[in-house]
Amino acid sequence: MNKEEQEIVLKLSLYEQQIKQLEQQLQAVEKTISEMLSLKKGLDELKGNIGKEIFAPLGKGIFVKAKVISEELIVDIGWKNFVKKSIPETKELIESQIKKLEDAKTELSKSMEALGREVEKIISDASMRSY
């Protein structure tokens, strides 16, 4: 293998790594979007259930039976800052976060497409040189 072929193989390897990283980021964004949609749906189910018992998650598949005494929520808005929000206000916050995640998903997809086109160009150029 000559030096030019080695450079091509190295470039393709680097692009492959970048594409894999972007795919992982895309999967993480999609998972977070799914979780946010599920959370939003859960808020709908909470509405109007004052006085009723629910299963409240403690984390990682562990739930406790709890009684709803208020529809007022305590929301972490970042940097361990908590504020009181109503269900509609919280849903708006979630929708805003979903929008940002959808934008990130679009950007990741565009980056993957651009890398894919670059890989195709390198392969095409390399096959033209071999003739």
Lowest average pLDDT, out of 32-36, 46-50, 65-69, goes to: 46-50
Percentage of the chain modeled with pLDDT above 70: 98
* Domain coordinates in residue numbering, the chain: 3-123
| Confidence tier at 124 by pLDDT (50, 70, 90) | confident
Q: Can you name the CATH fold of 3-123?
A: Helix Hairpins (1.10.287)
Nearest CA to 41 out of 86, 83, 94, 77 is that of: 94
Which pLDDT value is given to residue 131?
Answer: 56
Mean per-residue pLDDT for 45-61?
87
Q: What is the distance between the alpha carbons of residues 32 and 96, in angstroms, rounded to a whole number?
A: 13
